[in-house]
Amino acid sequence: MLRFVLVALVAICSPLTAEDLDIFLLIGQSNMAGRGDIEPQDKVSYPEVLCFNKEGKWVPAVDPLHFDKPSAGVGLGRSFALQVLKANPGRRIGLVPCAVGGSPVDSWVPGGYHEQTKTHPWDEMIARCHKALKDGRLAGILWHQGEADASEKLAHAYAGKLQNLLKRLRREFQAPKVPFVLGQIGFFADVPATEWMHQVDAAHRALPTSTALCAYVSSEGLVHKGDKVHFDSPSLRELGRRYAAAWQQLEVQRLHDPK
């Protein structure tokens, strides 16, 4: 145990170099931020998996990773990182949590403002991620959002806005081949799905068919925490593992793409 703690301290405190971390950006709304109940397993730290905290410092990645609202809890980011690490031993992973609960896609634009949290999701994410990227390379962008746009007023325009978002992200970070993984919003057995939810889901499913190095992750079989909106902790851990499997496939494609 002492050896593990010492290794962890060395990994966290040692100076980082430009290629030390594979950095993953976590963006979207509350199901990316995570609202799952925290258990002891979610507080176990690993020296190879770090999180860029609210103060802009690398710390052990334990839940909650996010700080958008006091209700932040277990999300999908940590289980994603652990699964990536399992498949790629020897790597160091840095998570940059930037999701904002309740944020519609319209707030994820330059200058966009989210009244509920009094934040500028896009602008604050850009600043945080650029700071984090001084210590590594952008290895992937994880997006889970859409519940806020699943309405009669907003759903019809969602697909175009999502495509624009991805283009802006890759342009901003000068990363045209960075893998982009997005997840299905919750379709729960005891919650009737609306046509607007299906419209948002269709936009999610369609993006990988028109955009390179993009993958859609199903939420089939996952359940909510009792509020009919947010995934519970076991579901979020599983969703993170599904994101990791999708990212791994995209990473193989990226590495073997001759262009």
Residues ≥6 apart with Cβ < 8 Å to 227: 35
CA atoms within 13 A of residue 72's CA, in its CB half-sphere: 21
Q: Could you read off the pLDDT of 220-257 as tens digits, one per residue?
A: 999 999 999 999 999 999 999 999 999 999 999 999 87
pLDDT of residue 20: 84
Mean pLDDT of 33-57: 97
Q: What is the mean pLDDT of the chain?
A: 93
Q: How confident is the model at residue 197 (pLDDT cuts 50, 70, 90)?
A: very high
pLDDT of residue 3: 36
pLDDT of residue 10: 41
Domains of the chain (ranges; CATH) run 2-256 (3.40.50.1110)
Mean pLDDT of 136-144: 98
H-run or E-run covering 163: helix 158-172
Considering just the CA atoms, what is the radius of gyration of the chain in Å? 17
* Cβ count within 10 A of residue 39: 13
| DSSP-derived secondary structure for 191-247 | SPPPHHHHHHHHHHHHHHHHSTTEEEE--TT--BSSSSSSBPHHHHHHHHHHHHHHH
Please say if the pLDDT value at position 2 is more than 60: no
Mean pLDDT of 192-219: 98
Beta strand ranges found along the chain (DSSP E): 21-28, 49-52, 58-60, 93-97, 136-144, 180-183, 214-217
Sheet holding 49-52, edge to edge: 58-60, 49-52, 93-97, 21-28, 136-144, 180-183, 214-217
Q: Could you read off the pLDDT of 9-40 as tens digits, one per residue?
A: 444 444 444 358 999 999 999 999 999 999 99
The amino acid sitting at 147 is E
Please say if the pLDDT value at position 1 is more than 90: no
CA atoms within 13 A of residue 97's CA, in its CB half-sphere: 36
Are 27 and 141 spatial neighbours (Cβ–Cβ below 8 Å)?
Answer: yes
pTM of the predicted protein model:
0.92
Q: Could you read off the pLDDT of 75-123 as tens digits, one per residue?
A: 999 999 999 999 999 999 999 999 999 999 999 999 999 999 999 999 9
Query: Among 83, 74, 63, which Cα is nearest to 30's?
Result: 74
pLDDT of residue 89: 93
Question: β-pairing, 93-97 with 49-52?
Answer: parallel
Residues in a beta bridge with 49: 93
Please say if the pLDDT value at position 43 is more than 50: yes
Q: How far is CA 234 from CA 100, 114, 140, 185, in A?
A: 21, 29, 23, 16
